[in-house]
Amino acid sequence: MERSAGILLPVFSLPSPHGIGTLGRKAYDFIDFLAAAGQKWWQILPIGPTGYGDSPYQSFSTYAGNPYFIDLDLLEGEGLLTKEEIARFEPEAPADRIDYQELFQKRFALLRLAARRGLARDRAQLDRFSEQNAWVRDYALFMALKDHFGGAAWSCWPDADIRRHRPQAVERYRKLLEEDCLFYAYLQLLFTRQWDDLHTYARGRGIGIIGDLPIYVAPDSADVWAEPQFFDLDADFLPREVAGVPPDAFSDLGQLWGNPLYNWDRMRADGYGWWIRRVDGAGKRFDRIRIDHFRAFHDYWAIPNGLPDARKGRWKKGPGLELVRILQNWFPQLSFIAEDLGDLNDGVRKLVKDSGWPGMKVMEFAFSPGGEFLPHEHRPNAVCYIGTHDNDTLQGWIDSAGRKERAFAEKYLGTTRRGLFGAVMRSGLSSVCGLFIAQMQDYLGLGSEARINSPGTDSGNWVFRLSPGQCTPALAERLCGLMRLYGRFPYEKKEKKEDAAPAG
């Protein structure tokens, strides 16, 4: 792995005047900041349409893009909206927070205005887009049906035939809800055009995008509704067991995620086609893919559906190296990161090693009792993080860490509490790990108020946003100096080769 660095910042956390980060001007500005700061990578969170709890890990589709990320100013530039229309639907949430309820109430009305104008112009392009992306038709119908049935989860739809995705019912509702189907499909065309333009710009600036592929999909999703045979469901299409993790550092009750588990026997019999299609979709959008909760490829925690917490689950065997090799054979051009955090065993460690994919070393976990991420134990084929989206910011961790944990960190790093922040950052930058990632909040020195997610909690997550003007040229210059100092500047090797080239 090439020695380099990147910054973790969700798309929704970008500043914008429209209530949530988008794929517009501020995203381009952030890419410019990354390039000026000597970064090679922009790591983001899943970009699908959010469902329960507004979590990007509970999306209505593993393929679709979040309509909230469609930039309104770019739509105005296409003549699909006017300034007055945008102003009329502006959210009133604070600039540094996202109000998803207000977005839901206002944004779709505005997008329907844009779609009515755009469909008259882009219908032929939409038809081609839908033909080239088989998931679009099922996703669009799924969303139209949710509207038709008052937002109910698909397992609760009153019509059993459409609940079971029977072909005659599918075609009947596709005709009945044709206008809504076209709307939701068109939103995906708009999203894809804006995403592809942004991605092309990033590549031109030397910035790769690390996308996040959740290990599981949401129970209320087009993915489960359209292909229930690949999930462990009962006769009523409800999960027999659901996903989560046993009690850990985040929660004494474990984490009850509620996602349906896979029917690995059916997937294996099908040649893992579902996973191949899924990774193919992600590979078209990202330059590197982080597989969330990779340990579930080896074994996963299965919790009987209906229990109040995750304590009474059991470990079950995953597909292991068989699926890894299939993905590697199908996608030799793709790079992956294996999120190998949590309560690991020797089997998980062996799977990560055998895969050849880099794992993760998290500095905020390094100094806790039994921590295994101390810098002297790092290796080149790994990614060093200060913290992930599930961790507190570095300043928040310092403020809340236990006395023994913080004292050990100070002793290990040879510093005092006053110097601990800088010492942890420098230790990560100097790590032998090929890639170093820090949250943008840590480069800004922000505290717990800027945390992205607190696992095991149901509110206050996924709402943090940068304020305009925080990513300054002075900060970029300082970071660029750090990247050069620690050998992570992406153009350093190229410049050295050119300097050494013989004259003439």
459, 256 contact by CB (below 8 A): no
Q: How many CA atoms are closer than 13 Å to the CA of 174, on its beta-carbon side?
A: 13
SS3 208: strand
DSSP code for 361: E
- The β-bridge partners of 362 are 385
Among candidate residues 188, 189, 155, 161, the one with its CA nearest the CA of residue 173:
161
Q: Which one of 71, 212, 339, 340 is the catalytic residue? A: 339
Sheet of 241-245, strands arranged across: 255-260, 241-245, 299-304, 314-317
Cα–Cα distance for residue pair 96/88, rounded to 1 Å:
21
209, 286 contact by CB (below 8 A): yes
Q: Which one of 54, 212, 232, 292 is the catalytic residue? A: 292
Cα–Cα distance for residue pair 458/169, rounded to 1 Å:
36
Cα 363 from chain centroid (whole Å): 20
Among candidate residues 212, 150, 238, the one with its CA nearest the CA of residue 390:
212
Active-site residue, 252 included: no
Active-site residue, 343 included: no
Active-site residue, 280 included: no
Q: Which one of 29, 102, 390, 410 is the catalytic residue? A: 390
b or e along 148-159 (b: 16 or more beta carbons within 10 Å of the residue's beta carbon)?
Answer: bbeeeebbebee
For the annotated catalytic residues, the residue numbers are 292, 339, 390
